[in-house]
A and B are shown apart, each in its own frame.
Chain A
Amino acid sequence: EIVLTQSPGTLSLSPGERATLSCRASQSVGTNYLAWYQQKPGQAPRVLIYGASSRATGIPDRFSGSGSGTDFSLTISRLEPGDFAVYYCQQYDTSPWTFGLGTKVEIK
């Protein structure tokens, strides 16, 4: 199965700063079938990005995804208070669809 490694494990930033999260796959993710999710405590995940770079409905444009092959990233251009959460990447190219272990974005 494709193993996704997310880094860093924790990112400590202040509101207004830029966040860059990394997701590295153990083998190439075809057709850029990679999604990003945000999860807040006690809540279900919600999708932010699919197809590596397409924003899901209702997601603000401060969230952007990029990358291809084995290296992907999620960028939050200016952190807002509601953006402090855990972020997961998921590949859906090769079954089983797998998730990374997450990056926690916390307030510095």
Chain B
Amino acid sequence: RLQESGPGLVKPSEPLSLTCTVSGDSISLSSHYWGWIRQPPGKGLEWIGSIFHSGNTYYSASLKSRLTMSVDTSKNQFSLRLSSVTAADTAVYYCARHGVPYYDILNGHNWFDPWGQGTLVTVSS
């Protein structure tokens, strides 16, 4: 239902751009946020940022200065752009839907289900 796409190799100092295509669900009609999470090889998971179909975003503070997320409801896609990458940005990047609608205060919505299969991005010259 979610599929990441983008270059697998990015040069240091250049921007990293990825797109997540959603099928079986409509971003524009959904009450869910949509997020990006990454996992460096052999390491743990790091939340990057999330976006709503209105364009409202919230980002991890550690990446905020380099991060831009956008949504294209006509294509049912959302995207990530991370500028000035270094080797530390090498990771598998996952897109995911937030688990429940944003208004579900009882359960809280900032967990992730389902996830895309992930795409490996390597930063190297």
Listed in ascending order, the chain A residues whose CB lies under 8 Å from chain B are 1, 31, 33, 35, 37, 43-47, 50-51, 54, 56, 88, 90, 92-93, 95-102
Contacts and interface: CB of A to CB of B under 8 A. Distances in A.
B115 A45 contact: yes
B21 to A, nearest CB: 15
B94 interface: yes
B99 interface: yes
Contacts of B45: 37, 45, 88, 90, 99
A61 B93 CA distance: 30
Nearest to B46: A99
Interface residues of B, number: 26
Contact of A47 (B43, B47, B94, B99): B99
A54 B62 contact: no
A99 B47 contact: yes
A43 B47 CA distance: 17
Interface of B: 43-47, 58, 60-62, 94, 96, 99-100, 106-118
Contacts, number: 68
A92 B108 CA distance: 7
11 contacts: A33-B111, A35-B99, A43-B117, A46-B114, A47-B111, A47-B113, A51-B107, A88-B44, A92-B110, A96-B61, A97-B47
A100 B46 CA distance: 9
B107 A93 contact: no
Is chain A's binding surface mostly helix, strand, loop or mixed? Answer: loop
B110 A97 contact: yes
B99 to A, nearest CB: 6
Contacts of A54: 107
Interface centre among B45, B62, B115, by most chain A C-beta atoms within 10 angstroms, is B45
Nearest to A96: B60
Counting chain A CB atoms within 10 Å of each CB, which of B60, B62, B110, B117 scores highest? B110
A45 to B, nearest CB: 6
Contacts of B94: 44-45
Contacts of A45: 45, 94, 112, 115
A50 B114 contact: no
